[in-house]
Amino acid sequence: MSDHDEAKHGLRDRVVGTWRHAVDSAKDSVGDLINSVDADLLFDTGDDIVDTKAPKVDIAQRWDERKFSARLVNPANRRKLSVIIVGTGLAGASAAATLGEAGYHVTSFCYQDSPRRAHSIAAQGGINAAKNYRNDGDSTYRLFYDTVKGGDFRSRESNVYRLAQVSTNIIDQCVAQGVPFAREYGGLLDNRSFGGVQVSRTFYARGQTGQQLLLGAYQALERQIAAGTVTMHTRHEMLELVVVDGKARGIVVRNMVTGEIETHTADAVVLASGGYSNVFYLSTNAMGCNVTATWRAHRKGAHFANPCYTQIHPTCIPVSGDYQSKLTLMSESLRNDGRIWVPLSGEDKRDPREIGEAERDYYLERIYPAFGNLVPRDIASRAAKNVCDQGRGVGPGGLGVYLDFADAIERLGRKSVEAKYGNLFDMYAQITGENPYETPMRIYPAVHYTMGGLWVDYDLQSSIPGLFVTGEANFSDHGANRLGASALMQGLADGYFVLPNTINDYLAAGPFAKVDPADPAVAEAVDLVTSRIDKLLSIKGSRTVDSFHKELGHIMWDYCGMERSEEGLRKAISRIRELKTEFWSDVRVLGTGEGLNQALERAGRVADFIELGELMCIDALHRRESCGGHFRAESQTEDGEALRHDDEYAYVAAWEFAGEDRRPVLHKEPLVYEYVELKQRSYK
Ligand SMILES: Cc1cc2nc3c(=O)[nH]c(=O)nc-3n(C[C@H](O)[C@H](O)[C@H](O)COP(=O)(O)OP(=O)(O)OC[C@H]3O[C@@H](n4cnc5c(N)ncnc54)[C@H](O)[C@@H]3O)c2cc1C
């Protein structure tokens, strides 16, 4: 083993921690068992599903046609209809504000102490829109094309086209709200580029785009709260969905301050509860992000689509030790001006500033000359992993590559670089103690976003009538890989423009009978919540919730992370099943249910993550192709690129929960491409 390998494994051992040695031997026997099980025996296959809501007209007319064909609710009747919205990030706050403004009775929930603390506030780099302000050849079709190609041809054409159409409205809406987008000297809105595209269509507010957009949506929401159309419940966590006569009619929440269990009912429910990257324990997401809202809905009948599609972001600050509970993103916008490289030789351990141009490998520029440092995230992440696997990684353990601004500073001047990226540079300096104006940043891929989520049709309605899903919580428009700056676009498209034009079609069937608080469906949902809390508090085992979460995260990263294989995924499934049994017999949750209890909150979330983790691995195992962020070691081209198998896997995998201890049921929604030619992606 070379010095480099030793150092790398040394760090890895520290990072992975000692827990693994203890659990490995116990789990090998189960691993053997699973290895002998065919992947297809882990699930059943149900009927194919189709999205019937997208009109069968030319793609450019579909959204207009749907808006016209959707039934309307007149303003007087809107006042008689109610909607619950879980989530106050960009997707939830924009929807609540818009539906409130339209006159519906909206009840809004979040688990933070203020709606504006939603994870969306952390978004840094920007939001896409096909405005073509740069006159560089952008168009609705190009944004549509880039997004379908970027998602490795695994997204629905109708939805993506609509997203591209609506993108331009979002910018106008936000400017009208006063969102301070960056401007050029002449006063026009500025743009920059993000990965996977060759035009500049990303609107931004320094490195704080999410914060500024969320403040805009939050103000619109607060206006409706003051007007009385929206009732806000902060510090309330949804723990169960109420389904009456097959329709979503309410939620059960826990007041996180008093511990009280409350039931809220309405005519429709919207989940805008964000993504589930924290199943990996370490991710760039806010610590509180979790899957509980969507997972509970899944268990009540909502299909979960493409759970294995996870995005690993190439530019994060590398892991530095096993005490860490969070990873920090360095925005993709930095790849506009920063150049990524490693030393040509793995033996070269000099200060990067002493390494000459000829001794550097700007590997993205070399391998992908057409897109260079702005290849999509899945490709940039894998390329970083490859050079580190070759022993050419930098920093402790060799798990890092350089992101270098020396050229940009020389070309543009330090002031200009500071104006564009100053807050990101400060963040990097505070976390690492290194000055990125003087020495290159060190970055490494980390889990960042989840393209999977609850299955929705063109109207954003899930497989449970009356349950709508928006933003990162739905399986959305990004296929197997999301392009940078497209999540904010999708969240706001859903909340400001799409949902308000589709949910009325469902609500027009009202007025609906009030839900009787004594309805057995309500009692059952409340009972599920209270008995689960009681069970968690009664186990009084020996392991902390965090130790289970951390272990799950390691399993997911090792076997369902940047590279997945048949053998690894089988192993992961067996280990996760073991972990679930251990969790429910040995977790230690201190305190009581009456009042603030963060260990209890986390325990419920981790229990759901464990179940989700298993489904993610089953999904990844059954998809024996590589596509986007889902890289199967067995399915690659000669030069190591993802190799799709369109003849077998050009479908959305929508999973149905069949019951406790029953195999999940796979429903396929075939993906039909009429406006984009299916081909092997190339960024060369
Ligand atoms: C560091 C970072 C930077 C990013 N930068 C960009 C960028 O520049 N451009 C871009 O396009 N995307 C970016 N993204 C992605 C983007 O920020 C997210 O995808 C997006 O903000 C998600 O918005 P959302 O409204 O769907 O969910 P969130 O903002 O996550 O909001 C979820 C809401 O649901 C609530 N909630 C969740 N579960 C429950 C429950 N059980 N009960 C009650 N309430 C609940 C929460 O309280 C919260 O209000 C970035 C992501 C990260 C991590």
- Give residue-wise pLDDT tens across range 201-245: 999 998 899 999 999 999 999 999 999 999 999 999 999 999 999
- Residue 207 pLDDT: 84
Minimal-distance CA residue to ligand 1 atom 39:
273
Q: What angle do CA 204, 420, 492 make, to 5 degrees?
A: 10
Q: Which atom in ligand 1 lies closest to the alpha carbon of residue 204? A: 8
Helix H segments across 119-208?
Answer: 140-150, 157-177
Distance set, CA 574 to CA 172, 281, 560, 578 (Å): 50, 19, 13, 6
Taking alpha carbons only, the member of 292, 302, 352 closest to residue 86 is 292
Contacts of 155 (CB under 8 A, 6+ apart): 147, 148, 476, 477, 478, 479, 480, 671
Profile the chain (684 residues) by mean pLDDT over runs of 10 residues.
43 37 39 51 95 96 98 96 98 98 98 97 94 95 96 97 98 96 93 89 93 98 98 98 98 98 98 98 96 98 98 92 88 90 95 96 95 91 93 93 96 93 93 95 95 98 98 96 95 98 97 95 98 98 98 97 96 97 98 96 98 98 96 92 96 97 96 94 84
| Paired tokens of 146 | 């880039």
Taking alpha carbons only, the member of 112, 80, 63, 123 closest to residue 449 is 123
| 548 CA to centre of own chain | 22
From 86, 119, 208, 295, give the residue whose CB has the most ligand 1 atoms within 8 Å, as the site to mutate: 119
Amino acid sitting at position 310: T
Q: What angle do CA 116, 297, 510 make, to 5 degrees?
A: 85
Q: Which atom in ligand 1 lies closest to the alpha carbon of residue 470? A: 26
Roughly what angle, to the nearest 10 degrees, separates helices 209-227 and 157-177? 80
Question: Can you tell me the distance from the alpha carbon of 460 to that of 129, in angstroms, rounded to the nearest whole number?
Answer: 21
Residues with CB under 6 Å of ligand 1 are 86-92, 109-112, 118-120, 122-127, 209-210, 237-238, 272-275, 284-285, 289, 292-293, 329, 331, 448-449, 471-473, 485-488, 491
pLDDT single digits (tens) 446-484? 999 999 999 999 999 999 999 999 999 999 899 999 999
Question: Can you tell me the distance from the alpha carbon of 349 to that of 360, in angstroms, rounded to the nearest whole number?
Answer: 12
Question: Can you tell me the distance from the alpha carbon of 248 to that of 460, in angstroms, rounded to the nearest whole number?
Answer: 14
Contact between residue 119 and residue 448 where contact means Cβ atoms under 8 Å apart = no
pLDDT single digits (tens) 81-95? 999 999 999 999 999
β-strand 105-109 against 230-233: which pairing, if any?
A: parallel
How many angstroms does the Cα of residue 323 sit away from the middle of ligand 1? Answer: 25
- Residue 661 pLDDT: 84
pLDDT single digits (tens) 276-326? 999 999 999 999 999 999 999 999 999 999 999 999 999 999 998 888 889
From 254, 488, 499, 532, give the residue whose CB has the most ligand 1 atoms within 8 Å, as the site to mutate: 488
The length of the chain in residues reads 684
- Residue 39 pLDDT: 60
The residue to which tokens 């069937």 are assigned: 509
Q: Which atom in ligand 1 lies closest to the alpha carbon of residue 274? A: 27
Q: Which atom in ligand 1 lies closest to the alpha carbon of residue 275? A: 30
How many angstroms does the Cα of residue 586 sit away from the middle of ligand 1? Answer: 32
Question: Can you tell me the distance from the alpha carbon of 270 to that of 253, in angstroms, rounded to the nearest whole number?
Answer: 14
Question: Can you tell me the distance from the alpha carbon of 181 to that of 177, in angstroms, rounded to the nearest whole number?
Answer: 11
Taking alpha carbons only, the member of 263, 255, 285 closest to residue 121 is 285
From 194, 312, 450, 472, give the residue whose CB has the most ligand 1 atoms within 8 Å, as the site to mutate: 472
- Residue 38 pLDDT: 60
Check residue 117 and give left, alpha or beta (phi > 0: left; psi -120 to 50: alpha). Answer: alpha
- Residue 9 pLDDT: 44
- Residue 28 pLDDT: 43
Minimal-distance CA residue to ligand 1 atom 6:
123
Provide DSSP, 240-273. Answer: EEEEETTEEEEEEEEETTT--EEEEE-SEEEE--
Torsion of CA 50, 55, 57, 63, to 10 degrees: -120
- Catalytic positions: 377
Taking alpha carbons only, the member of 657, 630, 296 closest to residue 452 is 630
